[in-house]
Amino acid sequence: AQTVTQSQPEMSVQEAETVTLSCTYDTSESDYYLFWYKQPPSRQMILVIRQEAYKQQNATENRFSVNFQKAAKSFSLKISDSQLGDAAMYFCAYRRANFGNEKLTFGTGTRLTIIP
Amino acid sequence: NAGVTQTPKFQVLKTGQSMTLQCAQDMNHEYMSWYRQDPGMGLRLIHYSVGAGITDQGEVPNGYNVSRSTTEDFPLRLLSAAPSQTSVYFCASSYRGTTQYFGPGTRLTVL
């Protein structure tokens, strides 16, 4: 069974600084997707970034980028120029690539605090 | 598009009561699913559906029932509520392997 581990329950960063959230996963599959979701106090789950395992290039979305290390099964999220609106729970998630089995396996989350 | 909608936003039940959490999407997504979120445990899959008339169990299905009579709707039924079902429930949908979109969630308390 696949597992996703987020070893940092809480992180904090000064506004405008850079922070990296860690995620490791365990799978025997070779083709899969990895995601970072953001959950602000409103409770809404918002997709931040997505990475396909077959792609060697790390995904980026504006101030958000990932460091995907397939051999190490590591998938960290870097937030640059942190803003107050980035404060939220961040969840790492894994999904196998085949249609019909689109179960997302989530980590336990990292609560990110932005210090003004 | 309204995206994924869930009703109600909040609900309080007594032990033994039954209720249905509603989920609807207007994006013609084939895949729909229900997750529950408990403190310190992330989100866990309850049931999912790959199309109308097809449902299957996820990681924590006990005490819940689902059906999928239309592409748009995927209700979750609690047959006899228990305090252990106190949680936040999320519905999600996607189309053929693309990103899953989540509804706003329902906070359920069972007394």
pLDDT at B42: 85
pLDDT at B18: 96
Q: Would you say residue A101 has pLDDT above 70?
A: no
Does the beta carbon of B88 lie under 8 angstroms from any beta carbon of chain A? yes
Pick among A4, A90, A103 to test the B interface (most B CBs inside 10 A): A103
pLDDT at B98: 75
pLDDT at B24: 97
Question: For A47-61, A91-105, B90-104, which range has the lowest pLDDT when averaged over its residues?
Answer: A91-105
Does the beta carbon of B82 lie under 8 angstroms from any beta carbon of chain A? no
Q: Is the dihedral of CA B106, A85, A51, A110 positive or negative?
A: negative
Count of alpha carbons within 13 Å of B70, Cβ hemisphere only? 10
User: Of the candidates A21, A15, A16, which has an alpha carbon nearest to the alpha carbon of residue A110?
Assistant: A21
The pair phi, psi for residue B8, each rounded to 5°, is -80, 175
Query: Average pLDDT, stretch A27-34?
Result: 92
Distance of alpha carbon B98 from alpha carbon B111, whole angstroms: 38
DSSP code at position B3: -
Average pLDDT for chain A:
94
Average pLDDT for chain B:
94
Closest CB from B43, B99, B105 relative to A47 = B99
Q: Dump pLDDT digits (tens) for A60-79.
A: 999 999 999 999 999 999 99
- For the residues of B10-34, what is the DSSP string, one character each? EEEE-TT--EEEEEEESS--SEEEE
Per-residue confidence at B99, pLDDT binned at 50, 70, 90? confident
Residues 52-71 of A with CB under 8 A from B: none
Helix residue spans in A1-116 (DSSP H): none
pLDDT at B96: 76
User: Of the candidates A52, A49, A45, which has an alpha carbon nearest to the alpha carbon of residue A62?
Assistant: A49
Residue of A nearest to B32 (CA): A102
